[in-house]
Amino acid sequence: MVDAAEWLTARGASVVLAQEEAAAAATGARWPTAPREGIAKDVDVVIAFGGDGTLLSAASAVVHANAGVPVLGVHLGHLGFLTEVRRAELTDALASVLEGRTWTETRLLLEGRIERAGSIAASRFALNDIVITRGTLSRMLELDVSVNGEHMSHVRADGLIVATATGSTAYNLSAGGPVVHPSVDAVILTPIAPHTLTNRPIVLPASAEIVLRPLLEGAPTDVVATFDGQFGAPLQSGDAVVIRRADRVLQLLRTTTRTHFDMLREKLNWNR
Amino acid sequence: MVDAAEWLTARGASVVLAQEEAAAAATGARWPTAPREGIAKDVDVVIAFGGDGTLLSAASAVVHANAGVPVLGVHLGHLGFLTEVRRAELTDALASVLEGRTWTETRLLLEGRIERAGSIAASRFALNDIVITRGTLSRMLELDVSVNGEHMSHVRADGLIVATATGSTAYNLSAGGPVVHPSVDAVILTPIAPHTLTNRPIVLPASAEIVLRPLLEGAPTDVVATFDGQFGAPLQSGDAVVIRRADRVLQLLRTTTRTHFDMLREKLNWNR
Amino acid sequence: MVDAAEWLTARGASVVLAQEEAAAAATGARWPTAPREGIAKDVDVVIAFGGDGTLLSAASAVVHANAGVPVLGVHLGHLGFLTEVRRAELTDALASVLEGRTWTETRLLLEGRIERAGSIAASRFALNDIVITRGTLSRMLELDVSVNGEHMSHVRADGLIVATATGSTAYNLSAGGPVVHPSVDAVILTPIAPHTLTNRPIVLPASAEIVLRPLLEGAPTDVVATFDGQFGAPLQSGDAVVIRRADRVLQLLRTTTRTHFDMLREKLNWNR
Amino acid sequence: MVDAAEWLTARGASVVLAQEEAAAAATGARWPTAPREGIAKDVDVVIAFGGDGTLLSAASAVVHANAGVPVLGVHLGHLGFLTEVRRAELTDALASVLEGRTWTETRLLLEGRIERAGSIAASRFALNDIVITRGTLSRMLELDVSVNGEHMSHVRADGLIVATATGSTAYNLSAGGPVVHPSVDAVILTPIAPHTLTNRPIVLPASAEIVLRPLLEGAPTDVVATFDGQFGAPLQSGDAVVIRRADRVLQLLRTTTRTHFDMLREKLNWNR
């Protein structure tokens, strides 16, 4: 990160660091800093250094600020599905950004609202997935799933993942869900360790409104709705989690010609 | 079938029976008959009695004749995903047809062309799936898969299924593929018993052009491309199977308010 | 339960009720009661009424008291893998017990010890499974697995199930593990939602000593070892969970000729 | 192979080459040759050069000749589960053999008999698996499975694999079966692309007698029983395939301290 900041500063670009990262890297007063959530509003491009988790955080800041700026992911160790630039390609990528030789990929976002007693208890966006899980105290999660107002299924499982195509290669894949190409306009519902063996992953149109109603008994539970593995909202008896396509999108900044299939082959060892 | 023919004739409708079925049912000269492929051109509605396999045959006749008429499925035993009318509902369904109280569901078709030495060796449509499989003599199928001209993967498996959303609940489901709602504009590639464990099902946009190139050695092989489990074309060394969305569709005639989720719940025991 | 108690009392048998159940059923002073854990020592047979969860509790009481008495499972609703007697068969089953027309099935137990800083922090038996899971706060569980002192694998997943053959049809099955016949002398290691897609269930000899070392950072974690889904022990950094075949077994009392395959067919719909 | 033959000859060992391999390698009259099946009777050790397929052939020759000599596998390209010696380790391994610094692993074999009209139409041994599959002409295989004379299940699938623990990492793994450690005394039944989603792999004791009765209609079918992927026997209507533990075993010669877990980690990328 510091190298990139030096390189960009030397070429006349203004650099603002996220407070947390600047503190961790002990950059002193070398560059101005700002809270992650605040930065997004005032910059032209957000660059995330790290794994897919870091990019999800950066994307969340951009999306929740409704900033609309593109996000570029640079991975420091292993290639991520969202962080395609390698360390060795960093200078080339930064030059591409300064010279405008980039392109953007538009990624669909989900919006999840927790409805409680007639009002909205929480509302968040997600790039990868919204997941309802039982806690370690519970033995099972029971969930009613309806789609566009129609009852779809009753799920008994450890949890249920509602994933975007972008998120299809993340938690969804571990739980047995399919890979979905980002250009398919769809959401995926994948149960985690379902009790009913026929309760298979299902791919629905992105336009579907999905309502999840966990069946909770008693007051305190440890059932949680988690957004992109980063923000968790405890659920209460009677809650409904309403998930639909967000009215905003994420712009992923791309600087290489690497394709989605290239990444799949490399990450999933498809070229062995 | 005979009951339905009687009922329709009594109400002034013209009935033509498929030759094969008429012979099997020994209907004599009671109704005119015609070859299955020929009927489609001259009727307003095709009614298939039997399981999903029968409906696939009827649909194939309609589609290959480019007849454009809708097809209604009546199941005699078990509910099928494509044959929703139960025997007990038959009269109601026929009345709905005569009175025009029906609606149609448009289902995407795949077109598969076998390209051999610069020309087209075979070309067929499929409603459910086009499947490449090794025969019992071979130990493994090796296949190069490219999508829109880009190399996607190298598959070593018993076979590869290219399924529509309609076909997602058929062979694709047995091989571990996801359920895909018919309103999602997608095709699914699902390997059968893949050697590489990370070779997971992938959902691609329906607009994708998929080219499958089996790696065959020597002249006679038992690798076959099968369309809807009904029509098989042996493949030769050097063949490419080119699969894309067809320029025609199938109209499924619907007479009940049963939804896709109703059928999923019933067929997959999701309501247990 | 009350019916059974009446029936047995009328035939001269001594009945002791578990305190919790007696209170719930408001049986007053009709029969003596005792704490569940205490009963096991003083009776000839333990009868559990309810689902597999109830039988697991009763078995746990018998096993931890080292009582050695057999346990009979009577299910009130759905057939369980451990509770084979139907309500309608109850009188026949009780008569068989009084007349000694029963047989027992010996089921292997696991013993799990949590080793912490050189001493044993907890030690429990399990009939079905010992499961290590991340809590809802954690994003992933990382675990080193060694078998008989040899490093086997590094698991990154939601959790890891160590199941007996008895437990193979419980949580193990939901997580993708195989059915294992109770007469196979084996334990099964099945990851829950593994990040590495090749991290497949593995069946080991029952004689294997399995040591699981979760990689935990910082002091308070929400990683838990759960025994039969009923007893949870929070794990700390540096803990080792040592799992081996117990030096005691459970005697399942059987009164019908129903076989394991009968139950598999019925529970898994294999006879469709 | 030639290098090994030279090395062994130079040290006074007698070498006999398999006719087929000698011809392919054009070794002329440098060493005596014999048919593969015949060699096994007259040597102290059989060495197979190639992949797991080559070792299966060599093992088959030894086993069907009831020769009882141990088999050593040397892989030329990729590590196999059965061929652990790398090319670079070849000289060390040969020296170990000459000096008796080796150990053997005993592997269970299956015997499969095809019973037809009261007599035995074929009988073969298998080290990895016996597989019943439908051909490309059939749409589905239907099979009745019984174990020790008791009906277990009715399978509708592409095929059914009966695998040993040794074979658990071969075809069984591709079809979704579990890894089973060779020291577990068990056989695995794994359906290939089963129509019933609850038709999961099951692990049975090695002592089980498994009888498979394919439901075939009409005279000529393309249903085949395949032994170790190498020997195929077409099945006829009314046939029963009877599978039990063989009365002989295979001795795998081992020269390294590589463990089964080492091989699993390397082959399945468990150490990533």
Is the pLDDT confidence value at C226 over 80? yes
How far CA D265 is from CA of C145, D54, D64, D83, D262, in Å, comes to: 12, 22, 32, 15, 5
pLDDT greater than 90 at residue D47: yes
DSSP state of A145: E
3-state secondary structure of D141: strand
Chain length of chain D: 272
Is 80 exceeded by the pLDDT of residue D159? yes
Residue C24 DSSP SS3: helix
Which residue stretches of chain D are H helix? 2-10, 19-25, 36-42, 52-64, 90-99, 171-174, 260-267
State how far the Cα of A174 lies from the Cα of A194, in Å rounded to an integer: 13
C-to-D residue pairs, Cβ atoms closer than 8 angstroms = 110
Cβ of D192 within 8 Å of Cβ of B135? The answer is: no
pLDDT, chain D, mean:
92
The CATH homologous superfamily for domain C110-245 is Probable inorganic polyphosphate/atp-NAD kinase; domain 2 (2.60.200.30)
Report the distance separating Cα D271 and Cα A169, nearest Å: 20
The number of residues making up chain C comes to 272
Contact B194 D174 (CB under 8 A): yes
Q: How do residues A93-113 score in pLDDT, each as one tens digit?
A: 999 999 999 999 999 999 999
Strands D240-254 and C202-205: unpaired
Confidence (pLDDT) at D120: 97
* CB atoms inside a 10 Å sphere around CB B31: 16
Per-residue confidence band for C165, with pLDDT thresholds at 50, 70 and 90 = very high
What the block records as the tokens of B178 is: 């996801």
Each as own residue / partner, the long-range contacts of residues D41-44 (CB below 8 Å, 24 or more positions apart, any chain) are: D41/D65, D41/D67, D42/D16, D43/D16, D43/D69, D44/D69
Query: What is the Cα–Cα distance from A235 to A219, expressed in whole angstroms?
Result: 10
Distance, in Å, from the CA atom of C7 to the CA atom of C15, rounded to the nearest integer, reads: 10
Q: Give contacts of A269 with chain D, Cβ < 8 Å.
A: 269
Contact assessment for residue A204 and residue A187, using Cβ atoms and an 8 Å cutoff: yes
Structure-token match 């039988």, residue found: C55
pLDDT score of A22: 85
- Residue numbers in C near B269 (CB within 8 A): 269
- Residue D140 has a CB neighbour count (10 Å cut-off) of 16
Sequence-ordered alpha helix ranges (H) in A49-134:
52-64, 90-98
Instruction: Residue C133: list chain A partners with CB under 8 A.
Output: 136
- Residue A262, classed as helix, strand or coil, is helix
Domain ranges of chain C: 2-107+249-268, 110-245
Q: If we measure between CA atoms, which residue out of A138, C66, C188, A89 comes closest to residue D179?
A: C188
- pLDDT, position B210: 98
CA distance A158 to A143: 10
- When pLDDT is cut at 50, 70 and 90, the band that residue A173 belongs to is very high
Supply the residues of B annotated as catalytic: 52
> What band does D260 get if pLDDT is binned at 50, 70 and 90?
very high
Quote the CA–CA distance of C228 and C235 in Å, as a whole number.
17
Q: How many residues does chain A have?
A: 272
The SS3 call for residue B267 is helix
- Cβ-Cβ contacts under 8 Å, C171 against chain A: 193
Cα–Cα distance, B173 to B160 (Å, whole number): 13
Name the token pair of B253: 């005639």
Q: Model confidence over D89-101: pLDDT tens digits? A: 999 999 999 999 9
Chain C neighbours, 3+ Cβ pairs < 8 A:
A, B, D
For chain B, 272 residues long, give each residue's pLDDT as a single digit of tens: 888 999 999 999 999 999 888 888 888 888 999 988 888 888 999 999 998 899 999 999 999 999 899 999 999 878 888 998 988 899 999 999 999 999 999 999 999 999 999 999 999 999 999 999 987 767 789 999 999 999 999 999 999 999 999 999 999 999 999 999 999 999 999 999 999 999 999 999 999 999 999 998 765 678 999 999 999 999 999 999 999 999 999 999 999 888 999 999 988 888 65
Residue D84's pLDDT is 85
For residue B225, give the nearest of B119, B116, B104, B100 by alpha carbon: B116
- Give the E-state strand segments of chain C in sequence order: 17-18, 33-34, 46-49, 71-74, 103-116, 119-126, 129-133, 141-147, 150-157, 159-164, 179-180, 186-192, 202-205, 210-214, 224-227, 231-234, 240-254
| Residue C219: band (very low, low, confident or very high) from pLDDT cuts 50, 70, 90 | low
Residues of chain B that touch chain C, judged by Cβ-Cβ distance less than 8 Å: 197-198, 200, 269
Please report where in the chains the tokens 């399981």 appear, as a residue: B51
Contact D202 C181 (CB under 8 A): yes
Handedness of CA D79, D83, D88, D89 (dihedral sign): positive
| pLDDT for residue B127 | 98
Average pLDDT over residues C242-260: 94
Distance CA C193, CA C140 (A): 10
A28-58 pLDDT, tens digit per residue, is 788 999 988 888 888 999 999 998 899 999 9
DSSP C145-211: EEETTEEEEEEEESEEEEEETGGGGTHHHHTTPPEE-TTS-EEEEEEES-SSTT---EEEETT--EE
| CATH architecture of the region C2-107+249-268 | 3-Layer(aba) Sandwich (3.40)
Own/partner pairs, D177-180, CB within 8 angstroms, 24+ separation: D177/C178, D177/D201, D178/C177, D178/C178, D178/C188, D178/C200, D178/C201, D178/C202, D178/C203, D178/D203, D179/C200, D179/C201, D179/C202, D179/C203, D179/D264, D180/C186, D180/C202, D180/C203
Q: Tell me the nearest-neighbour CA distance from D218 into chain B, angstroms.
A: 18
CB A185 within 8 A of CB B184: yes
Taking the alpha carbons at both ends of chain C, their separation in whole angstroms is: 33
Can you tell me the distance from the alpha carbon of C50 to that of C60, in angstroms, rounded to the nearest whole number?
A: 15
Cα–Cα distance list, B87 to B54, B81, D142 (Å): 15, 15, 26
Q: Which residues of C are catalytically annotated?
A: 52
Q: How far apart are CA C179 and CA C197, in angstroms?
A: 20
pLDDT at position C94 is: 95
Torsion of CA C212, C215, C217, C219, to 10 degrees: 0
Q: Which of D107, A205, D176 is nearest to B260 (CA)?
A: A205
Of A181, A188, A269, nearest to B196 by CB-CB distance is: A269
Considering only residues C80 and C252, tell me which one the structure prediction assigns the higher pLDDT: C252
Give the pLDDT score at C40.
Answer: 86
Task: Please answer yes or no on whether D198 and A200 come within 8 Å at the CB atom.
Answer: no
Residues B245 and B125: their CA atoms lie apart, in Å, by: 9
Q: What is the largest CA-CA distance in chain D?
A: 61
More confident residue, C36 or D89: D89
- Token digits for A230? 């980063």
Please report residues of A whose CB lies closer than 8 A to that of B178.
177-178, 188, 200-203
Q: How far apart are CA A6 and CA C93, in angstroms?
A: 81
Are D112 and D124 in contact by the 8 Å Cβ rule? The answer is yes
Specify which of A41-55, A220-234, C114-128 reaches the highest per-range mean pLDDT: C114-128
**Which of B54, B138, B174 is the best substitution to test chain D (most D C-beta atoms within 10 A)?**
B174
Q: Give the residues across from D141 on adjacent strands.
A: D157
- DSSP labels for B68-133? ---EEEE-SSS--SS--B-GGGHHHHHHHHHTT--EEEEEEEEEEEEEETTEEEEEEEESSEEEEE
Least confident of B14-23, D108-117, D132-141, D258-267: D132-141
- Which residues make Cβ contacts (< 8 Å) with residue D127, sequence separation at least 6? D56, D59, D60, D63, D107, D109, D164, D166, D167, D228, D250
What does the alpha-carbon distance between residue B124 and residue B114 come to, in Å, rounded to a whole number?
9
Q: Are B45 and B58 in contact (CB under 8 A)?
A: no
Residue B66 is classified by DSSP as T
Rg of chain A (C-alpha set): 20
Of D196, D238, D228, nearest to D52 by C-alpha is D228
Tell me, what DSSP letter sits at residue B29? T
Contact criterion met (CB below 8 Å) for C160 and C146: no
The one-letter amino acid code at B208 reads: A
β-strands C17-18, B224-227 pairing: unpaired
How many inter-chain contacts (A to B, CB under 8 Å) are there?
A: 110
Annotated catalytic residues of A are 52
In this predicted model, which residue has the larger pLDDT, B189 or D21? B189
Say which residues have a Cβ less than 8 Å from residue D254's Cβ, sequence separation at least 6: D84, D102, D103, D104, D105
CA distance B160 to chain A (A): 15
A217 vs D233: which has the higher pLDDT:
D233
User: Cβ of C206: how many Cβ atoms within 10 Å?
Assistant: 16
- Bridge partners for C155 per DSSP: C143
Which residues, other chains included, contact B262 with Cβ-Cβ below 8 Å and sequence gap of 6+? none
Q: Do C200 and B197 touch (CB under 8 A)?
A: yes
pLDDT at C137 over 80: no
Cβ within 8 Å of residue A192, ≥6 positions away: A131, A133, A157, A158, A159, A160, A161, A175, C158, C192, C193
Is A198 close to D197, i.e. CB distance below 8 A?
Answer: yes
What CA–CA distance (Å, rounded) separates C203 from C189?
Answer: 6
